[in-house]
Amino acid sequence: MIRHLLFIFALATSALAQQDTVLQPYAGPSNPGVDTQTLTHKVMCGYQGWFNCEGDGANLGWVHWGRGRKDPMGPGKVTIDLWPDVSEYDADELYATDFKNADGSPAQVFSSHHRETVLRHFEWMREYGIEGAFVQRFANGLKRDDQRHHKNVVLSHAREGANLNGRAYAVMYDLSGLPAGGVATVWTDWRMLRDEMHITEDAAYLHHEGNPVVSVWGVGFGDDRAYTLAECKELITQLKADGCTVMLGVPTGWRTNERDAIKDPELKDVLALADILSPWTIGRYRTPAQATKHGEKVWASDVEWCQEREIDFLPVVYPGFSWHNLTGEPINPIPRLKGEFLWSQVLAAKRANAEMIYVAMFDEVDEGTAIFKCTNEPPVAEGATFLTYEGLPADFYLKLTGNAGKLLRGEIPVTREMPAGSH
């Protein structure tokens, strides 16, 4: 009995020591690169970092690869539509699934808990000229110690990756799934990140208009969320008083109280408290022609509204969309068209006078929006269908996103033709 209790105590002590290490201020090298003091003229990506595998050290099992955490994902329980290209990963970064490659070998995936994997992703950002990432931090998982620890580990690795590769990073809280009264969790967590990790003191942490950027996604959506607009207003006020530049992820119809926005007349008054507004556009248009029209009819007016109030505007663009294996809906409802769809949105944002762009997402294979390296030769199995990059090189969307930054900054002409260097 005593031996058993000592074993449990040792495990708890080890976990706490690991947690303390993760939460320490960054003391490693910081290499020069992008200007982290402004978001202007930058293309940033969302970084989910939510993939886990059994044996990765997080003790969460299999997360975001398939259904069920106990067994590896395989036919009948997979939830991703794109398969990552893992040819450049080291052997100790990879985890076998129940899928098989064409040669009969086990198909493998990565874990976001692995330091080398996250560093590799930020190295790709540097290699392809992508300025950095908003590291996602889902607030509904902050109350569980194991989930919070994983988020801290990923954030710590992203911090190191950004510093080593001269990239910018910032925290983005996602409010999705929070209960009534749950928004207060974000403020508590943010103060922990500032007080313990000293996160905003990093050379790589993104600042804008003189203050560290913190993003809160999910303000004003009309999909029956349990938390309230009043809670969001209180959080925005707290973050502003804490000396932050506050970026809000908002619905597409925020300015007119239409479509995906709540029909609350106070919405625009709350959003006017922000420093940066970023409307969510995934699924709001589905073709290059619709994206062009959205830029002309919606984004241009959004920019004008923001400029009148000295608020910056950060449009969201995405390469395509599919969540067939996750939801059972038809595969590839918003096709990529070999990059044409993404490029049409970049052009629309530029023509709407946007000065910054957010690409969703870097690593989101669940919903088929990833821009990092994915394979054209996914596993083949009965009951599972995967997308590919339509025969394009695995790094095509990384190159195209890097070129989006060049277009935004006026380094290449504004034309419908994608830059030759993207292929």
76: left (phi over 0), alpha (psi -120 to 50) or beta: left
Residue 5 has pLDDT above 50, yes or no: no
> For the purposes of burial, counting CB atoms within 10 Å of the CB of 62, is it exposed (0-12), middle (13-18) or buried (19 or more)?
buried
Cis before 73 (ω within 30)? no
At residue 270, φ and ψ (nearest 5 deg) are -70, -45
Beta-strand ranges (E) seen in 56-156 are: 94-100, 106-110, 132-138
Mean residue pLDDT across the chain: 93
User: Strand, coil or helix: what is 19?
Assistant: helix
* Alpha carbon 160 to its chain's center: 17
Per-residue confidence at 422, pLDDT binned at 50, 70, 90? low
DSSP count for the chain of H helices, then E strands? 11, 12
* Tens of pLDDT, residues 293-337: 999 999 999 999 999 999 999 999 999 999 999 999 999 999 999
Contact 421, 403 (CB under 8 A): yes
- For 45, 82, 211, 398, the CA distances from 393, given in Å and listed in that order, are 20, 14, 39, 10
> For the purposes of burial, counting CB atoms within 10 Å of the CB of 236, is it exposed (0-12), middle (13-18) or buried (19 or more)?
buried
Residue 7 has what pLDDT?
A: 37
Per-residue confidence at 423, pLDDT binned at 50, 70, 90? low
- For 57, 62, 91, 244, 349, the CA distances from 87, given in Å and listed in that order, are 22, 21, 10, 40, 34
DSSP 180-236: TTTTHHHHHHHHHIIIII-GGGSTTB-EETTEEEEEEE-SSB-S--SS-HHHHHHHH
Nearest-angstrom CA–CA distance, 47 and 121: 10
Per-residue confidence at 14, pLDDT binned at 50, 70, 90? very low
Residue 381 has what pLDDT?
A: 79
Instruction: Name, in order, each residue with C-beta under 8 angstroms of 286's C-beta and a sequence gap of 6 or more.
Output: 333, 334
Q: Which sign, positive or negative, has the C-alpha torsion 385, 386, 392, 393?
A: negative
* Alpha carbon 225 to its chain's center: 21
* Tens of pLDDT, residues 68-120: 888 888 998 999 999 999 999 999 999 999 999 999 999 999 999 999 999 99
Per-residue confidence at 19, pLDDT binned at 50, 70, 90? low
**DSSP letter, residue 329:** P
Contact 80, 57 (CB under 8 A): no
Structure tokens at 161: 């990756």
* Tens of pLDDT, residues 345-382: 999 999 999 999 999 999 999 999 999 999 999 998 77
Structure tokens at 213: 């950027």
> For the purposes of burial, counting CB atoms within 10 Å of the CB of 53, is it exposed (0-12), middle (13-18) or buried (19 or more)?
buried
Q: Which sign, positive or negative, has the C-alpha torsion 140, 22, 67, 79?
A: positive
In the chain, % of residues over pLDDT 90: 89
| Count of residues making up the chain | 423
Per-residue confidence at 421, pLDDT binned at 50, 70, 90? low
For tokens 């409307």, what's the residue? 279
In the chain, % of residues over pLDDT 70: 95
Burial 101-133, CB ≥16 within 10 A → b, else e:
eeeeeebbbbbbbbeebbbbbbbbbbebbbbbb
C-beta neighbour count of 316 within 10 angstroms:
20
Contact 135, 178 (CB under 8 A): no
> For the purposes of burial, counting CB atoms within 10 Å of the CB of 346, is it exposed (0-12), middle (13-18) or buried (19 or more)?
buried
Residue 2 has what pLDDT?
A: 44
Residue 197 has pLDDT above 90, yes or no: yes
Average pLDDT over residues 192-206: 97
Beta-strand ranges (E) seen in 255-329 are: 276-279, 312-313, 316-317
**DSSP letter, residue 338:** G
User: Strand, coil or helix: what is 46?
Assistant: strand
Contact 154, 49 (CB under 8 A): yes
